[in-house]
Amino acid sequence: MENQRESRKKRRVILFPLPLQGHINPMLQLAHILYDKGLSITVIHTNFNSPNSSNYPHFHFCSIPDGLLELGASTSDVVALIKHLNVNCVVPFRDCLDKLLSNVEEKESIACLITDAACHFTHAVADSLNLPRIVLRTSGIASFLAFAATSLLHEKGYFPIEDFGSDAPMPEFPLLRVKDIPLIDTHDAENFYQFLISVMSHTKSSSGLIWNSFQELEQDALKTLERDFRIPMFTIGPFHKYFPASSSSLLSQDTSSISWLDKQAPKSILYVSFGSIVAINETEFLEIAWGLAGSGVPFLWVVRPGLVRGYEWLESLPKGFLEKLDGRAHIVKWAPQQEVLAHPATGGFWTHNGWNSTLESICEGIPMICQPCFGDQKVNARYVSHIWRVGLHLENQLERGEIERIIRRVMLEAEGQEMRGRVMHLRKKVDVSLRQGGSSYQSLESLISFLESF
């Protein structure tokens, strides 16, 4: 490895993640993958949700002032947050990049900039400095196509659609229903559509596109995309199979999750987590709690501070709720998710279907209960439940009786076993794709040659 590094030390790549947990993890995993292949790494990051640089002694970090907190940006309106980022960061980002390009050491050259697709402002900045820009899209390929179709529908004047809860096929994307259109709650819907249009056009005109996915999982979507976006594509995922995400976690992971799982029977535990952004109301929280309790299935539940709107943490749980479950439940604020999913005691995952969670579940052969809330999660849930058929979609209002039934179907009934069989099959495909000669392995080799060609 050191020999490889010596021969390639002249190439540096500069990465810029979108400062949200589900985007920081894959970007820093990609940094690791490239570093391991002999490239030097610089990460430019915002002060908002800045990664812990001490976990990455081999990388160079530069922070830029983003003014996001001053503007009141928060994850409760991600569309507004991303809009602020795309406006506010232009000048500090350009200054930072300019400085990095001027101070480049003699023995080194900067190959390119790799930025999250959502940070579309970086395209013009990179162009103005004559630096190639490669895009990392941290979600799945199918959901990206669904976003593209959504922006097209907007341009054609389809919105507002009368019934967003409809089961009718989505125009432009018949594999999905109208209710699966990847919308995001925001106080400014027009801004959301403009954002989609910018992401699509700046991705299309980038030098290349990297995916945290693998060919065998999204073959048809990839073919469609290659036809529509005539730029080099690299499906090198799943990234976390090369490097875990624990070092880029913004919250500290409670390891009592693992010691608790160690005491449980194989495949007996339902793991419940809705990622880093989703928020629910008190009524939904209580239905989930009673549904979990009534199912009779033991569970490990991540209740992130801020998950329940208006509450710090568990205050709205009825007194004695946990005690009554008599050791059948464990609640934490944040878990080492990948270790939890890989644990032999874990038998199912009730998830919001963020792309990282979806991939992590597939990689461990864990069937899912899908409860998508916004954006790509809806598309991922549709693929999990109806295309790959490795999970059940909890579609209606959250209600304890329905929750109990769906948990039993996944954890205890034959249906769950069948889904487990199918997800194990996908898991095997992941392993093959990462092995020498496999699709992700080869795509990574192509990416490295591509980066060396600049």
Rule CB under 6 A: which residues touch ligand UDX?
Answer: 20-23, 25, 138-139, 245, 249, 253, 273, 275-277, 302, 334-335, 337-338, 354-357, 360, 375-377
List alpha helices for 89-218, DSSP H.
90-102, 122-128, 141-155, 189-204
CA-based end-to-end distance of the chain: 22
Smallest separation (angstroms) from ligand UDX to the CB of 359: 8
Residue nearer to ligand UDX on the CB measure, 40 or 151: 151
**Which residues pair with residue 64 across a beta bridge?**
46
Extract the runs of DSSP E, i.e. beta strands, from 213-312: 233-235, 269-273, 299-302
Q: What is the distance between the alpha carbons of residues 448 and 444, in angstroms, rounded to a whole number?
A: 6
- The two tokens of residue 51 are 């990664």
Q: Are 161 and 152 in contact (CB under 8 A)?
A: no
Ramachandran area for residue 336 (φ above 0: left; ψ -120 to 50: alpha; else beta): beta
Residue nearer to ligand UDX on the CB measure, 88 or 138: 138
Residue nearer to ligand UDX on the CB measure, 366 or 451: 366
Which DSSP string do the residues of 291-333 spell out, in sequence order?
Answer: HHHHH---EEEE--TTSBTT-SSSTTSPTTHHHHTTTSEEEES
Residue nearer to ligand UDX on the CB measure, 206 or 338: 338
Residue nearer to ligand UDX on the CB measure, 158 or 313: 313
Smallest separation (angstroms) from ligand UDX to the CB of 375: 5
Smallest separation (angstroms) from ligand UDX to the CB of 268: 20
Smallest separation (angstroms) from ligand UDX to the CB of 284: 16
Smallest separation (angstroms) from ligand UDX to the CB of 380: 7
Smallest separation (angstroms) from ligand UDX to the CB of 253: 6
Residue nearer to ligand UDX on the CB measure, 112 or 196: 196
Residue nearer to ligand UDX on the CB measure, 43 or 302: 302
Q: What is the distance between the alpha carbons of residues 367 and 424, in angstroms, rounded to a whole number?
A: 9
Q: What is the distance between the alpha carbons of residues 34 and 41, in angstroms, rounded to a whole number?
A: 8
Smallest separation (angstroms) from ligand UDX to the CB of 12: 26
